[in-house]
Amino acid sequence: MIRSILLAVLAVATLGGCSSSPTAAFYTLSSDATLQRTDAPIPIDVVVGPVTVPELVDRPQMVTRVASNEVALNEFARWAEPLKSDIPRALAGDLSQLLGTESVSVFPQGNGAAGAYQVRVDVLHFDSTLGEAVTIDAFWAVRAPKQAVPLTGRTIARETVSDSQYSSLVAAHSRALGTVSQDIAAAIRRASGH
């Protein structure tokens, strides 16, 4: 009798443990829908990439800053694809909107586009602090067709995070990438004479 009761209690405890285990959520960056083109569209081809990211954040788990010298990895808040793929896709969407051209592709798919403006981005910092802010520090280079010397720049974008939700953190990173895209689009317009 006691053995049956113990087995029943163990079975309930085991089933209860299974039902409360957390499930992973997957996130992607997006183009910044608030970006507005301020000049006339320009009919050019643009290839975005390659993009490099710091090794610290080059992983599926989201990395958040806890203190100046401490970070946390969340096994249940994950990027749906590597940041090296997700960032150029978001930048390409932003640049398409800002330049008014549909001819923006992501490296290596757009690698063979003759006469395309090549955009390379090295993300130096991709910091995330839940409930506070995100910061993207990026060095970028725009190489115009038939020009040996690229236009270069550095953008440091900081966006506040309204709450402690990972979805808000990702939205803030998308807005910060929109700021990077605005600087790159301005450089492309200068290089193209538009």
Fold of the 27-192 domain: Rossmann fold (3.40.50)
Least confident of 69-73, 75-79, 88-92, 113-117: 113-117
> Domain ranges in the chain?
27-192
pLDDT digits (tens, 9 = 90+) for 53-83: 999 999 999 999 999 899 999 999 999 999 9
Global confidence as pTM: 0.86
pLDDT for 95 beyond 80 = yes
Least confident of 13-27, 69-83, 84-98: 13-27
Compute the mean pLDDT over every residue in the chain, rounded to the nearest whole number.
Answer: 89
Give the pLDDT confidence score for residue 20 in this predicted structure: 67
Give the pLDDT confidence score for residue 2 in this predicted structure: 53
pLDDT for 12 beyond 60 = no
Three state DSSP letters for the chain: CHHHHHHHHHHHHHHHHHHCCCCCEEECCCCCCCCCCCCCCCCCCEEEEEEECCHHHCCCEEEEEEECCEEEEEEEEEECCCHHHHHHHHHHHHHHHHHCCCCEEECCCCCCCCCCEEEEEEEEEEEEECCCEEEEEEEEEEECCCCCCCEEEEEEEEEECCCCCHHHHHHHHHHHHHHHHHHHHHHHHHHHCC
User: Span 175-192, mean pLDDT?
Assistant: 95
pLDDT digits (tens, 9 = 90+) for 28-37: 999 998 898 8
Give the pLDDT confidence score for residue 9 in this predicted structure: 46
pLDDT digits (tens, 9 = 90+) for 140-173: 999 999 888 999 999 999 999 999 999 999 999 9
Give the pLDDT confidence score for residue 22 in this predicted structure: 85
Give the pLDDT confidence score for residue 7 in this predicted structure: 44
